Amino acid sequence: MREGKRRRLADEVRRIQRRAADHDGRVVTIGPLILFSTDTGDAWLLDTSDQLAARLARDGDPEPIEIEETDTSLAIAWTGNYRLEGPVFVYVDRRTRRVSTILGYPTKLLGPQGSS
């Protein structure tokens, strides 16, 4: 909660996209969701309970994401799945099935599976 108001996910997405544009690394958690930006300009939204992922920015440029949010429901158009293998972030795109392996992300902060 922020100043007595409910945190809107869309607002947090825009904030983390701005951080990515500034090449400023941050990690924000909202329940099972993690938003993070990196000093390389990337940003992601993760659902730690189902290992779902959506890229929010690449090299500082925002990526589109579909979010439908009401007072009682939240729907996110997830674009893929992720897993953490120690210091490695692995992303599998649902549409293309392309696998991306990325080093340098804050995997230790992204969930218990990242601490191994």
Instruction: Give tens-digit pLDDT for 65-103.
Output: 999 988 888 999 999 999 999 999 999 999 999 999 999
pTM of the model: 0.88
Instruction: Give tens-digit pLDDT for 20-68.
Output: 999 999 999 998 999 999 999 999 999 999 999 999 999 999 999 999 9
C-alpha span between 97 and 108 (Å, rounded) = 25
DSSP 8: P
DSSP 6: P
Domain ranges of the chain: 9-79
Phi-psi map region of 90: left, alpha, beta (phi>0 left; psi -120 to 50 alpha): beta
| Residue in the block written with tokens 């290992």 | 51
Joined together, the tokens standing for residue 66 give: 């579909």
pLDDT value of residue 112: 62
Length of the chain measured in residues: 116
